[in-house]
Structure 1
Amino acid sequence: MTLLKRLFLIALFFIVIGAGVLGYGYYYLSQPFGSAHQNEALVFEFPKGKHARYVIEEITEYYSLDKSVLNNTQLSYGFSRLLGGVSHLRAGVYEIKPTHNWFDVWRKLANGDELQFSVTLVEGHTLEQWLLKLNEATYLTGNAKAAADTLRAELGASYDSLEGLLLPETYTYRAYSSAESILRDAYESMQRTLAEVWSERSDDCPVDSPYELLVLASIIEKETGIAGERSLVASVFANRLAIGMRLQSDPTTIYGVENFDGNLTRAHLREKTAYNTYRINGLPPTPIAMPSRASLEAAANPDESPYYYFVADDTGGHVFSKTLEEHNKAVRRYQLNKE
């Protein structure tokens, strides 16, 4: 055998061995970590300054890979360096599912494909309730009350409070985002929504400014949770405002009661506060909750109706009345349980 042929065979041998190693490495890195029915996803933080070995150790321990076919962290690291691309990994909080493999992991960390968290800010809730929710949100930083104060101060003297100025919806964020960033997103979303709804208001819209629309929409939001009733409730308030009749809304009165315990009394209704619409004319000075787009649209486009009264019935909806006499009968039937 000539020297040239011998060298060729040696080279071919190493090529075959190398291809086999690469093939096994690809197979090794492409195996899922576990069964989706046996394990929950791993949520872990990859801090700045940490090495790829840290990732391997976290995942190996969580999915008990030392008890499965993937039983060697050194092998995992070696193959990952060779085939997986473990350089330039981005710090962050990531979710690794049982169906993922090492290729998925390195791709996620290289792209910064962090886990997205979310917080749902509910329509009809008050600013105070929202701030409590934000302070409890996972991986959200900063004090929500301080953030709200900062944002309100930036808005100047136009608003005494952020009440009603934030759009209810689900907001997504990355780990260690600030509560202030969520509040700013909610404020900007409401500004866009309010401008759109205001531009599409009907001639029957009973208020004179976008802010008054927020106030009225917040009352509608608190009065009914039934989508099909919003425009009819809006019509009652529009009819009352048109003739200078007081709104007489329990939710506004409750908003003005300090430390309300859930029991609205006659004394509350007699007390003159800025929010007691049994005692004041027109709208209260600010919204009383965060209104949804649906309530804004109802306030901007109320139904045409002959109604000036409504009372809750026993189905979760309301009975609407044209006259006080009809209304009193409905109250006796549905609130006082008298026919």
Structure 2
Amino acid sequence: MRRLLLVVLLLPLIIAGWLAWDYHRFLHTPVNLAEATEFQVPAGASLRRVGQELAAAGIISKPHYWEIHGRLSEQDQGIRAGEYLIHPGLTPEDLLALFIRGRTIQYSLTIPEGWTFLQMMRAISAHEKIRNTLAEDEYMNVMAHLGRPGEHPEGWFFPDTYLFPRYTTDMDILRIAHQRMRQELARAWENRAEDLPLKDEYEALIMASIVEKETGRADERTLVSAVFNERLRRGMRLQTDPTVIYGIENFDGRIRRRDLRADNPYNTYTRDGLPPTPIALPGAAALHAAVNPAESRALFFVSRGDGSHHFSTTYQEHRRAVIQYQLGGDASRYGR
């Protein structure tokens, strides 16, 4: 009888001890995976639901232990939705910490410097991990969605590589890129040189977009900027091909004489001053160069054909450079 009574008294302690051991073992035993596996935590999912889905996927074996651990550690309300990569070495305890920190799988989108707004929008639309909310016919109204109705979207998005979780929307990316551009532009304008012929930040953005399209060489950006700023200061037309190209619908890669003569708001051969909007998305270096031109008297430049340019202070010098670098040294072929 005493033995039976002893067993009855000790049995709950034995069961409790075994449960505590089993619970501890569950929390610290790596999950049942042979290789890294993606797992989606749905938006608004409870601790219990996530545990059940982990069990259904064969990742954990005892979802009730999972739920108990979350409640005991007071982490039952902090799980973040998203797509996670679960590695074989993680334990259930690690999993909960992973979901609480929200370390989701990150995807990337690279927007190169010098792309146009439409090139950027098409890349966003084509990205399989971005959720598109804008139809193509809504692209030009995107600034209204950003709280700036009536503004032209060209130039207002900073080119960079952006990381984001799956199901991020196109507007989420655009908001981030737009805010970055406003910050970078404000920084450049605040640190601008004195006596610029540019009236405000927007004109600086337009100038930066032209600099971005005219040269990809870091050592030439401020020289290109010097030419265009000096031309503005003297009342000379900018006469820059990238603005002409921007104004041509369905540009085929070749500028013809008729293109230089066809008047439109972006043709800086026929119009004075800056074009009405930027012509591309300028990077930080172009923004800086636009408002900090080099100390140079150059008014002209021409491509050498190797990615660099020859800068000239007089038209006569420029004419000779054009003959040398673009017409093969044959003055009889010089046409403009």
TM-score by length of 1: 0.80
Partners of 1:248 and 1:272 in 2: how far apart?
Answer: 12
1:160-175 alignment, distance < 5 Å: 161-175=152-166
Q: Does 1:80 align with 2:80?
A: no
Q: Does 1:155 align with 2:152?
A: no
Partners of 2:80 and 2:111 in 1: how far apart?
Answer: 30
Q: Does 1:312 align with 2:303?
A: yes
Q: Shift in Å at residue 99 of structure 1?
A: 4.3
Q: Shift in Å at residue 311 of structure 1?
A: 1.8
Partners of 2:22 and 2:159 in 1: how far apart?
Answer: 55
- Give SS of 2:25's match: helix
Partners of 1:144 and 1:197 in 2: how far apart?
Answer: 33
Q: Output one character per residue of 1:111-140: Cα deviation in whole Å (capped at 9) or x when no partner.
A: 544334443333211111111122123133
Partners of 2:11 and 2:305 in 1: how far apart?
Answer: 89
Amino acid at match of 1:252: T
Amino acid at match of 1:151: M
1:124 to 114, 120, 133: 114
Amino acid at match of 1:192: Q
1:242-257 alignment, distance < 5 Å: 242-257=233-248
Summarize the Cα distance change of 1:31–1:316 in structure 2 as closer, same or farther, 3 Å threshold: same
Partners of 1:291 and 1:223 in 2: how far apart?
Answer: 11
- Give SS of 2:219's match: helix
- Aligned-pair RMSD on alpha carbons? 3.1
Amino acid at match of 2:118: E
| Residue 65 (structure 1) aligns with | none
Summarize the Cα distance change of 1:264–1:94 in structure 2 as closer, same or farther, 3 Å threshold: same
Amino acid at match of 1:191: R
Amino acid at match of 2:205: L
1:1-339 alignment, distance < 5 Å: 13-14=14-15, 17-18=18-19, 20-28=21-29, 30=30, 33-34=33-34, 39=35, 41-42=37-38, 44=40, 46=42, 48=44, 50-58=49-57, 60=59, 75-77=61-63, 79-81=65-67, 83=69, 87-88=76-77, 89-137=79-127, 138-143=129-134, 145=136, 146=138, 149-152=141-144, 154-157=147-150, 159=151, 161-338=152-329
Summarize the Cα distance change of 1:312–1:144 in structure 2 as closer, same or farther, 3 Å threshold: farther
Partners of 2:8 and 2:234 in 1: how far apart?
Answer: 104
- Give SS of 2:296's match: coil
Partners of 1:33 and 1:84 in 2: how far apart?
Answer: 21
Q: Output one character per residue of 1:263-285: Cα deviation in whole Å (capped at 9) or x when no partner.
A: 11122112112111122222111
TM-score by length of 2: 0.81
The answer on whether the counterparts of 2:36 and 2:86 sit within 8 Å (CA) in structure 1 is no
> Which runs of 5 or more structure 2 residues have no equivalent in the other structure?
331-336
- Percent identical among aligned pairs is 35
The answer on whether the counterparts of 1:193 and 1:293 sit within 8 Å (CA) in structure 2 is yes
> Which runs of 5 or more structure 1 residues have no equivalent in the other structure?
61-72
